[in-house]
Structure 1
Amino acid sequence: MLKPLALRAARLVESGLERIGDSEDDKPVLDSYLGYATPDGVLLRGRVLSHLRRVQPDAEQSKWMNLRQMVNLFVTDEVQGVTVTTEDGSVTGLSDAEGYIRLMVPGDFDPGWTTIRLKIDGQEPEPFHARIPDPSANHMIISDIDDTMIQTGAHSLARNLWTTFTGSALTRQAHDDATALMEAMVAGGRNPVFYVSSSPWNLHDFLEDLFAAEGVPRGPMFLRDLGLTEEGVGASHGTHKGAAIDTLLAVNPNLPAYLMGDSGQKDAVVYRDTVQRNPGRIKGVALREPAPGVGADDAAAIAEIEAMGVPCYHGPDFDGARRHWGFE
């Protein structure tokens, strides 16, 4: 009884927020996300919104101003049923109920970052970027974000929310040890990196700016839709992460993966299940301990990962993982 009432109340809040700033004169705009290569071509991702709410970060502004700007990122107005095409009109997609678009562009693309321009009819094309792995790549890295790459406190809901909503792309900080490990593993960009997180898609541009400011290697992100469903708000943490990792392993069939995460959000359990579903594909797992030690569930999952022949490092930082995996 309580769940239907809670969902009904949440939908009212969501509906009210989406009307903030709406105008009949608003023209839909494209919000681009980083795409990735598949055996069939390049998958481009983005969202159609009534307008974009973005600001240039200022390291000197107050936490109150940061809070106001962050809230604006979540007051999105999605537009359904908008046709989006490549600049030459060869590939067409339609935005779904939450405004999301996915266009598969066939062809062979040079390794590195490629740019493909998409457009809404009657508007100027917008650049969409996608990562194409190098044929000489030895592996890929799939990493969590909060408490793994950046300092958040995700294991504490109150601290996570405070840190997320009162910081900016210039005041938030990456973990130096995570950046050092990631830079060693990408080997000058030869090995691709992907980020899988329970953070919402609303933070994609914010995280892009934060990673650039902190020198974190760039990579396509798999974030979470916070749209309301009968199951609650978006997909569950484990379901979302597991599905994203399975997708990346499927579209990169020749690349084994290293998984990076933390013990604050049950990543050990998610990664154990990933190893079970994908035997022989995972070369190693590294877990940061944002709080001292690991819980019983994580400890059991770590033991199972190692029993399946996959090295699993866990500790307060990733310096030990860099030595453990030979990426000095």
Structure 2
Amino acid sequence: MSLFKEDPLQVIVFQSYGTASHLYVRGRALEDESIDLEGKHPIKLLINAFKRFETDEIKHTPLLLKLPNGRIFETNTDEEGYFLVDVMVEGLDALTNEEGWLSFELAYKDFTNTRIIQLDNRFPGEMLIPSDKVSFGVASDIDDTILHTGLVSTLKWRVIYNTFLKRASTRSPLEGAAEFYHMLHRGSSGEEANPIFYVSHSPWNMYRYLEFFLKKNDFPKGPILLRDFGNFLNRKKNKEKPQKQREILNILKTYSNLNLILIGDSGEHDADIYLEIAELYPDRILAIYLRSVKHKKKMLRVKSLYEGYKTTPVLLVNSSKEAIEHARENGFIA
């Protein structure tokens, strides 16, 4: 008999995106560490932050994905507990709701261990299949674009403080951001379902935290696309494109008729990434919105980067109101 009580098992299903014939689902199988996103005490916040990064993965374990029509697909977790279902299946769009979301369930297969499994071994997941009738999509950064993190602060101390010593329920979105995103989601007619893709350099360990923040602050639901924590060092070594850039390029490739509006900030690399994407797809990037940051040197660099640039409309904004006015003038919103 074990001296320590084992944590129950869970499956975290990341909100993803696919097509009417492409089922693409990612997630992770972990022990449930009972992370309290509403915790208030500083010690508890540090413990929760530690739990997010010191995970107990369920490795090399078979999982089952069940669609609403009864079809079942099997996958296996890897060394870090991640899984991927990537199969071609016809008729998925017939299973979506009016917003284009396909709901399904994940479960551990034949788990005969005595371990407790949360939610009666029925873990809900969703995948977005945008309608062919939408006007455009939005690919948005999270950090310092809709959520103040302090990436431009000295030695990144504000990032550390905000990540580890502030609970998701008290983090405030940048003013007017949620309203602006809902207007973009509804489009010029006010009745559309334009997809919103949230793309960040944050690791998947932050998924639940960011999902909670977006829900609590009433942002439109959309796929949350993060990166593997271990890939950061590999990218530096192999000189790969940033995960954010590769994800946006994959969205453009997946939906060949979907134009995008790109939203980010002027603090880190969004300006460079978005410029490169716009040069590759000059006819499909409708606009670039970059939120200004309180860092004179970085702002001067971004302004010089886009000086004389005419391929795509670019707006450096100090407030969501400025972006709303520009979007309305260009017919993106009502």
TM-score interval, normalised by the smaller of the two chains: 0.7 to 0.9
Match of 1:43 among 24, 34, 50: 24
Match of 2:33 among 53, 61, 65: 53
**Cα root mean square deviation, aligned:** 2.7
1:125 and 2:129 equivalent? no
- Count of equivalent residues: 303
The amino acid that maps onto 1:82 is T
Structure 2 vs 1, CA of residues 316 and 237 (structure 1 numbering), >3 Å: closer, same or farther? farther
Under a length normalisation based on structure 1, what TM-score does the superposition of the two structures give? 0.83
Q: Deviations over 1:65-88 (max 9, x none)?
A: 222212211111223322222235
Match of 2:76 among 87, 94, 98: 94
Deviation at 1:145, TM superposition (A): 0.3
Structure 2 vs 1, CA of residues 282 and 260 (structure 1 numbering), >3 Å: closer, same or farther? same
Deviates more, 1:144-153 or 1:127-136: 127-136
1:69 and 2:14 equivalent? no
1:185 and 2:169 equivalent? no
Match of 2:210 among 180, 198, 207: 207
- In the alignment, what sits opposite 2:167? 168
Q: Deviations over 1:198-246 (max 9, x none)?
A: 1111111111111111111111111011126863789989511110101
The amino acid that maps onto 2:61 is V
Match of 2:303 among 299, 306, 311: 299
Structure 2 vs 1, CA of residues 236 and 147 (structure 1 numbering), >3 Å: closer, same or farther? farther
1:108 and 2:108 equivalent? no
Return the alpha-carbon distance in structure 1 between the equivalents of residues 213 and 60 of structure 2: 32
Structure 2 vs 1, CA of residues 228 and 137 (structure 1 numbering), >3 Å: closer, same or farther? closer
Deviates more, 1:234-243 or 1:165-174: 234-243
* 1:198–1:237 CA contact under 8 A, matched in 2: no
- In the alignment, what sits opposite 1:221? 224
Deviates more, 1:154-163 or 1:119-128: 119-128
1:315 and 2:295 equivalent? no
Structure 1 regions of 5+ residues with no counterpart? 1-21
Under a length normalisation based on structure 2, what TM-score does the superposition of the two structures give? 0.82
Q: Deviations over 1:163-197 (max 9, x none)?
A: 11111121111112221211110005610100110
Question: What SS does the corresponding residue of 1:72 show, helix, strand or coil?
Answer: helix
Return the alpha-carbon distance in structure 2 between the equivalents of residues 312 and 98 of structure 1: 40
Q: Deviations over 1:127-169 (max 9, x none)?
A: 1111221332100010000110112112221111111111112
Calculate percent identity across the aligned residue pairs. 26
